[in-house]
C-alpha cells in the first residue's frame, strides 16, 4: 500500500494519523512508521477495516496515485509549491478537490484556465470571479480576457 494515497484519502476525510490507526486497528506508532516507508505492508484484515472505515475499495488504497509517483511530481512541486502556501503536493491536491480558491488560483496562475479546466473541470471557469484576486495581477489580466471570451463568445 502507498502511504501518499492513504494520506490524501485521510486528509480528504479530515482524519489524522491517530484516526487512521483506529480505523485500521493498529497503533499510532505503526501509522507513524508507515509515513517513513515507501510501501506499507498490512494484514488483509487491517486493510479491509481501513478501506471500510474510509469508504473506499481496497484497490483505491493499494494503487498509488499516478501523478504523485512520477518524475513529473518534482516539477509539479517546484511550479506549484514554490512559496510554501501548501506544504506538500498531497495537501495541494486535497485543497483542489475541496475547491479551495487559493489552490484553484495557483493552478490557473501556473497552467492557465484551459489546462486548469481540463484538470479540475468546469468549476475552474465558474469560480473564476471568486478566486481571480489570488492570481498575480499580470497573469490575472490575461486570464480575465480569456474568461470574458469564454463567457461571451459572441464578442469575438
Distance CA 84, CA 70 (A): 21
| 141-154 confidence digits (pLDDT tens) | 999 999 999 998 87
Domain residues for 47? Answer: 3-64
Whether pLDDT at 140 is above 90: yes
- What is residue 68's predicted lDDT score, i.e. its pLDDT? 62
Mark whether 143 and 84 lie in a shared domain: yes
Domain end, chosen from 44, 64, 84, is at 64
**CB 73 within 8 Å of CB 89:** yes
How many structural domains does the chain have? 2
Mark whether 54 and 92 lie in a shared domain: no
pTM to 2 decimal places: 0.68
| 103-113 confidence digits (pLDDT tens) | 999 999 999 99
CATH of the domain at 38: 1.10.260.40
Residues in the chain: 156
Cα separation values, 66 from 2, 80, 106, 129, Å: 11, 17, 21, 31
Mark whether 98 and 133 lie in a shared domain: yes
Whether pLDDT at 156 is above 90: no
Mark whether 78 and 113 lie in a shared domain: yes
Mark whether 47 and 110 lie in a shared domain: no
* SS3 annotation, 70-81: CCHHHHHHHHHC
Domain end, chosen from 14, 49, 64, is at 64
Mark whether 40 and 88 lie in a shared domain: no
DSSP string, 80-133: HSTT-SSSSHHHHHHHHHTT-HHHHHHHHHHHHHHHHHHHH-THHHHTHHHHGG
Mark whether 92 and 117 lie in a shared domain: yes
SS3 category, 39:
coil
Cα separation values, 147 from 111, 124, 137, Å: 14, 10, 15
**CB 4 within 8 Å of CB 69:** yes
Mark whether 75 and 142 lie in a shared domain: yes
Amino acid at each position: 500500500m502507498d502511504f501518499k494515497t492513504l494520506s490524501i484519502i485521510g486528509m480528504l476525510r479530515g482524519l489524522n494519523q491517530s484516526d487512521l490507526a483506529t480505523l485500521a486497528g493498529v497503533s499510532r506508532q505503526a501509522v507513524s512508521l508507515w509515513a517513513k516507508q515507501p510501501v506499507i505492508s498490512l494484514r488483509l484484515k487491517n486493510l479491509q477495516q481501513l478501506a471500510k472505515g474510509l469508504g473506499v475499495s481496497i484497490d483505491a488504497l493499494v494503487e498509488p496515485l499516478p501523478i504523485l509517483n512520477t518524475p513529473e511530481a518534482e516539477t509539479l512541486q517546484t511550479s506549484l509549491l514554490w512559496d510554501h502556501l501548501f506544504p506538500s503536493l498531497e495537501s495541494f491536491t486535497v485543497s483542489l478537490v475541496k475547491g479551495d480558491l487559493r489552490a484553484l488560483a495557483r493552478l490557473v496562475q501556473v497552467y492557465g484556465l484551459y489546462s486548469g479546466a481540463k484538470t479540475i473541470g468546469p468549476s475552474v471557469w465558474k469560480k473564476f470571479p471568486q478566486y481571480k484576486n489570488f492570481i498575480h495581477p499580470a497573469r490575472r489580466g490575461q486570464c480575465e480576457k480569456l474568461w470574458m471570451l469564454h463567457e461571451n463568445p459572441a464578442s469575438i
